[in-house]
Amino acid sequence: MQNNGWDRSAQAWIADMGEEGDWGRRTFLDEAMLSRLRSGSFYRALDVGCGEGRFCRKLQSLGIATTGIDPTEALLTEARRRNPSGTYTNAAAEQLPFADGAFDLVVSYLSLIDMELYEKAIAEMTRVLAPGGTLLVANLTSLSTAKAGNGWQYDLLGKPKHFTIDHYLEPRSSLESWRGIHIRNWHRPLSDYMRQFLVQGLVLTHFDEPAPPADGSHTADKYRRVPWFVVMEWRKPASTE
């Protein structure tokens, strides 16, 4: 995983996430991810692109021994500060420093959009996943990353009219900036991601576009009008299958 602006944005990211994450994470994406894990029996997890370790701590709260990797040392320093007993390693998703089949759960929580060489990252995540293990992925929807300009178009009163997308089938990167964070994200059509998971021989067992609560808020309304997240669960076939 290349740095893509994360070194200079690390402190702003830490401040923005806090302990519980931004609105989308804490309101409904965390639950969409954790609900897939509570009924399973997972013992060794790898969080790829763990950042400041927020989701690692949630995995550990489920009793899952978790290793977090990230290429940004400032984020790992914060992860270690918040969780001194945790295991955090400076590494890139495209070259994971672990043996084949080392984990029965691999998590990629909004990290694929940061990776230029995502095909290598998916291959590496599959390699370190034990046969019969689970790869749990949260990503931005390709509808949202294909936005034209800033996406939302507003009327004269400042109310959002509609969300525009363009060049959906063309992979590309863009510099995204908000609240002091300046990072490069990648847009790819959903078919590109799906193809790479299938190339690795993974089997799709769950797919969802989680919706925010219908609380009538302006923020929830925008998330409902444009699905922002996708959650996928893939299984690596057991060697006997």
Q: Is residue 180 part of a domain?
A: no
Rounded to whole angstroms, the Cα distance separating 98 from 68 reads 12
Domain hosting residue 52, numbered range: 6-141+189-235
Give 56-65 contacts, CB < 8 A, sequence gap 24+: 56/83, 56/86, 56/88, 57/82, 57/83, 57/86, 58/30, 58/34, 59/105, 59/107, 60/86, 62/34, 62/37, 62/38, 64/37, 64/105
Mean pLDDT of 214-219: 88
**CATH code of the domain containing 54:** 3.40.50.150
pLDDT-based confidence at residue 39 (cuts at 50, 70, 90): confident
Q: Is residue 26 part of a domain?
A: yes
Rounded to whole angstroms, the Cα distance separating 74 from 72 reads 6
Residues 143-181: pLDDT tens digits?
999 999 889 999 999 889 999 999 999 999 999 999 999
Residues 2-33: pLDDT tens digits?
458 999 999 999 999 999 999 999 999 999 99
- The pLDDT of residue 239: 74
Q: Is residue 196 part of a domain?
A: yes
Domain total in the chain:
1
First to last CA, the chain: 32
The closest of 138, 144, 109, 145 to 224, measured between CA atoms, is: 144
